[in-house]
Amino acid sequence: MNGEDRGQANRTVSKGTVDDRAVRPAASIGAGSDLLQLDPHDAATGGLSGWLAGRLRRAIADGRLPVGSRLPPTRLLAAELRVSRGVVTEAYRRLTEDGHVVGRGRGGTTVVAAPVTAAAPAAPDTPAMPAASDASAGLFSGTPGTGIFDAVRAAGARIDLSPGVPELAAFPRGAWVRTERAVLAELPASALGYADPRGTPELRRAAADWLARNRGVRAHPDEVIVVAGTAQALGLAAQVLRADGIARVAVEDPGALGSRQHLEHWGIDTPPVPVDFRGVRVDALRATGAPAVLLTPAHQFPTGVVLDGARRRELMRWAGGDGGLVVEDDYDAEHRYDRPPVPALRSMLPERVLYAGSVSKLLAPALRTGWVLAPPALRDALVDAKRFADLGNPVLPQLVLARLMESGELERHLRLIRGRHRRRRDAMIAAIGARLPGAEVHGAAAGLHLMITFDAGFADADLADAALARGVKTQPLSWHRRRPGPPGLVLGYALNTPALIVEGIALIAEALATVRR
Amino acid sequence: MNGEDRGQANRTVSKGTVDDRAVRPAASIGAGSDLLQLDPHDAATGGLSGWLAGRLRRAIADGRLPVGSRLPPTRLLAAELRVSRGVVTEAYRRLTEDGHVVGRGRGGTTVVAAPVTAAAPAAPDTPAMPAASDASAGLFSGTPGTGIFDAVRAAGARIDLSPGVPELAAFPRGAWVRTERAVLAELPASALGYADPRGTPELRRAAADWLARNRGVRAHPDEVIVVAGTAQALGLAAQVLRADGIARVAVEDPGALGSRQHLEHWGIDTPPVPVDFRGVRVDALRATGAPAVLLTPAHQFPTGVVLDGARRRELMRWAGGDGGLVVEDDYDAEHRYDRPPVPALRSMLPERVLYAGSVSKLLAPALRTGWVLAPPALRDALVDAKRFADLGNPVLPQLVLARLMESGELERHLRLIRGRHRRRRDAMIAAIGARLPGAEVHGAAAGLHLMITFDAGFADADLADAALARGVKTQPLSWHRRRPGPPGLVLGYALNTPALIVEGIALIAEALATVRR
């Protein structure tokens, strides 16, 4: 079992042992020069070796001679092509010089590298997602499937008023690269190996400090588990809850379609609980009999309602007294304009709250970085779940982010975009007042989006489709609803300038005229 | 449901409604100046306002007054402390100037930010992992649990001969940062939002090209799914297979303990199949009746055996004719020294091979980046699994990596470390010959590790423990075995200089003398 095993893998794999379509001539062309369509009469006079090398090069490039396969012995190929053996030897020599093949003495000549000019193979037959060009016709109609957010993202639109994204143009690119350079300059090599699945100590400490400063949550860094955003947090929570015998997690109604899809993918049943102007109805939650609930207490998605004090107390009785578990999705709580911050529920009852936050709304969703504080009883199971999900988040971005948080750079960034977001929100509210006089605005005191509702009379999916046809991307409120209710839209204002927002609202008004009857 | 809801969240949460230990005084100190231990007699003469501001600042810092809570009305607190109302007003004014509280008129005065000097809260009671200091005594003995690799990683050792990691000191830090700067300079802001869960087009194309050039695999970029390393690939595969009714995946014996743990975490049963000097025994695989198998064909872990041609043909008959599914873990195939490359099984039968590769052994495990080629029938389910795992890998590292691959930088890096790895391997083999004359070396023609076995007579876990006690980290072969067999060690040579490797082998020889009887 030592080095002597070399060579053994390079024996001929004969065609026809299994389905011919499936098996490619992987390990040798054997006596199959016809397979490679070699005919010396194609060669220009006197250039037989060059011709043969070129043909073989092409066969390597297009996969007929894959890496690892062996060229036929020179004697055999020469006989088959009726050329002198020197012609073949010279062709092999040229390929060797190119670095495409390696001669192994009696081991034969083996393909080791394909030319990079290889033509691309054909696209797979079954695209896993609708093509962008199909996407704009009736995209929002019908029941949204698991790929709906990918399909909407792929749809082209000049003005993107989708909710859930901060101003991406403000991403601190310079600070990010400078910080990464500084991180790499000091990093011990061992930090590039496998790492703690719970995250780097640096980011766990920075997240604990951030939560204390900004969210009223006191957590030891050891309690923080770094995750790939709130989406992963929901998946890990669902796995841990299911293993703990919890297969039902109540959700807010209206509530985020995406979050519900995530829980349901992981086999969790999601009974709806109505939300009113004070937040989730805890009496209705109790009535579902669900042992757990997913909430967005600081700025309910999509309504923007803040869970009020009386409801918080009622919820804490449900959690503390009756043993309910709260999954707190604190997705955009750092963004607020006209009201003081609301402390996270986690600060009230750490034993019964699984807290999830992320930098998706602070910096960029593309970073796929967030954090979870598990209730103590679930912490070990959650660490196991994260380990077996991916062995932990990538290390470099964690270290960069930790420095941006500890240096105050992230707070500076937050102050910067908060001002810009406020102006954009104000522009949107003013435009709605001017162009959509029948629309009622909800939940605009915080976050990155607002909700508008209309008197009944049309399907909001039709409105979203008509707006998209005019180049404006929005989300229909009905996506996020379980019980029927008035039509509406969920509108993000962070991505666009005030001028584009005004134009977008005007286009929505045009679209509205076509769907209203 | 518009801005009028502000303030509501800040009402008093009374203590004692649920378990007192659990609920913190989160939303107001109410009439509870005693809770804050305020006694004006502590104040230096004449400095009542300064004293009160200091006490409140400390209460904010240590969490008794969390962010979002309201200070008592000035009139009430003044009465309670028997000081003039002006003293309280002045203290609140100072806190406002500091930025710790905000006055909201009749809404009261609210804590908005804690001083960063807040003392850290206590560590959680139940650490999720053994502390590093406990780690070295008997770490390798007993049945390894799910946290074993974390525990071993946390154990201190001067010479790390663990397998599975390339030379990390050679990581191209400069090229990485330069490339990231270039990527960020050209990146449209929209690329920082939510992205395609299958990965960026750039990295999918680069991976397809890489696989064609280096692994003999022809795949369209649309077939590539970017994942968080092979660990995630195994988890996603397990989920998809289980949903497809496959709950048994045979594994090699000996075979990687880590891979088996991953499959088992996801509810997959893992019947063992013996490996001999020609690779996995396909007759024994057939006998298990398992519908799928996880293999490391290019360089079997831990034995280093290459699956030979006859076995490959037999395996393809099992897969093509009998409908078996192969999960191909191509973990270190790019590293080879004394033999030509072996093409991936995927190149032979794409319909029945789920291929997984990563950059963990090419660049660094900390990048958590790899790729999967699914069989066409499983592709959509695998994309769904990746979406609901984490919405896709982080975008920036994908774009950096794609450029390093397309520019030839990664191949240059591979050539560089290949030469260094070879010298380290040679040093290790020579040292084993000199210091461990009874050890047999296996599988050293490729990869980043070799395996040594000894005549029976001791437990290799004891040897690994004794080596660790001498500052040398290894893996006992028995970890990776299901059936009994001779004791051995799995030794990685990529991380250390030849001098340290020689020293490490000498220390293993010392350790061996203590466990052999």
Q: What is the mean pLDDT of each run of 10 residues along chain A (517 residues)?
A: 36 32 34 53 68 80 72 83 86 79 76 56 50 61 92 93 96 97 96 97 97 93 97 98 97 98 98 97 98 97 95 95 94 87 91 97 98 96 98 98 96 95 97 96 95 92 97 98 96 97 98 89
When pLDDT is averaged across residues B291-304 and rounded to a whole number, the result is 97
Cβ-Cβ contacts under 8 Å, A22 against chain B: 320, 349-352
Task: Write down the pLDDT at residue B517.
Answer: 66
Q: Are B301 and B251 in contact (CB under 8 A)?
A: no
Q: Across the interface, which of B116, B184, B320 has its CB nearest the CB of A177?
A: B184
Helix ranges restricted to H, A391-490: 395-406, 409-435, 460-469
Task: Write down the pLDDT at residue A129.
Answer: 47
Cα separation of B226 and B211, whole Å?
Answer: 13
Cα separation of B421 and B338, whole Å?
Answer: 12
What is the pLDDT confidence band of residue B19, given thresholds at 50, 70 and 90? very low
Task: Write down the pLDDT at residue B60.
Answer: 77
SS3 content of chain B, % helix, strand, coil (to 5): 45, 15, 40
Return the minimum-mean-pLDDT range out of A116-130, B138-152, B183-197: A116-130
Task: Write down the pLDDT at residue B43.
Answer: 63
Q: Determine the Cα angle at B507 with ends B502 and B512, to 5°.
A: 125
Q: Are A194 and B153 in contact (CB under 8 A)?
A: yes
Cβ-Cβ contacts under 8 Å, A232 against chain B: 389-391
Q: Across the interface, which of B220, B266, B440 has its CB nearest the CB of A122?
A: B220
Cα separation of A451 and B414, whole Å?
Answer: 53
Q: Are A365 and B194 in contact (CB under 8 A)?
A: yes
Task: Write down the pLDDT at residue A122.
Answer: 56
How close does chain A come to B392, measured CA to CA in Å?
8
pLDDT of B80 higher than 50: yes
Which residue's structure tokens are 């996506």?
A479
What is the pLDDT confidence band of residue B146, given thresholds at 50, 70 and 90? very high
Q: Which residue of B has its CA nearest to A177?
A: B181
pLDDT, tens digit, 9 for 90 and up, residues B231-269: 999 999 999 999 999 999 999 999 999 999 999 999 999
Higher pLDDT, A220 or B81: A220
When pLDDT is averaged across residues B400-410 and rounded to a whole number, the result is 97
CB contact under 8 A, A443 and B1: yes
Indicate the residue type of B183: V
How close does chain A come to B176, measured CA to CA in Å?
9
Q: Across the interface, which of B13, B126, B195 has its CB nearest the CB of A309?
A: B13
Higher pLDDT, A186 or B138: A186
Q: Pairing mode, if any, of strands B488-492 and A449-453?
A: unpaired
CB contact under 8 A, A388 and B146: yes
Cβ-Cβ contacts under 8 Å, A27 against chain B: 309, 312, 343
Copy the structure tokens of residue A200.
């780097």
Mean residue pLDDT across chain B: 87
CB contact under 8 A, B7 and A177: no
Cα separation of A329 and A140, whole Å?
Answer: 25
Q: Across the interface, which of B124, B168, B347 has its CB nearest the CB of A220?
A: B124
Percent of chain B with pLDDT over 90: 69
Cα separation of A154 and A157, whole Å?
Answer: 9
Q: Which residue of B has its CA nearest to A259?
A: B388
Most B CBs within 10 Å: which of A18, A117, A373, A495, as the mutation test of the B interface? A18
Closest CA to A57 of A9, A7, A97, A5: A97
How close does chain B come to A412, measured CA to CA in Å?
14
CB atoms inside a 10 Å sphere around CB B350: 22
Copy the structure tokens of residue A325.
């578990």
Q: What is the pTM of this model?
A: 0.80
Phi and psi at residue B276, to the nearest 5°? -120, -165
B457: left (phi over 0), alpha (psi -120 to 50) or beta: left
pLDDT of B322 higher than 90: no
Closest CA to A112 of B333, B305, B55, B4: B333
Copy the structure tokens of residue B339.
């033999």
Cβ-Cβ contacts under 8 Å, B187 against chain A: 173
Cα separation of A345 and B22, whole Å?
Answer: 12
pLDDT of B471 higher than 80: yes
How close does chain B come to A121, measured CA to CA in Å?
5
CB contact under 8 A, B313 and A13: yes
Indicate the residue type of A74: T
When pLDDT is averaged across residues B502-507 and rounded to a whole number, the result is 98
Q: How many helices (H) and strands (E) does chain B have?
A: 15, 17
Gap between the terminal Cα atoms of chain B? 79
Count interface pairs A-B at CB distance under 8 A.
Answer: 470
* A317 DSSP assignment: I
- What is the DSSP code string of A134-179? GTTSSTTSS---TTHHHHHHHS--SEE--SS---GGG--HHHHHHH
What is the pLDDT confidence band of residue B27, given thresholds at 50, 70 and 90? very low
* Residue A230 to residues A259, A365, A372, B290, B500, Cα–Cα distance (Å): 9, 10, 8, 36, 44
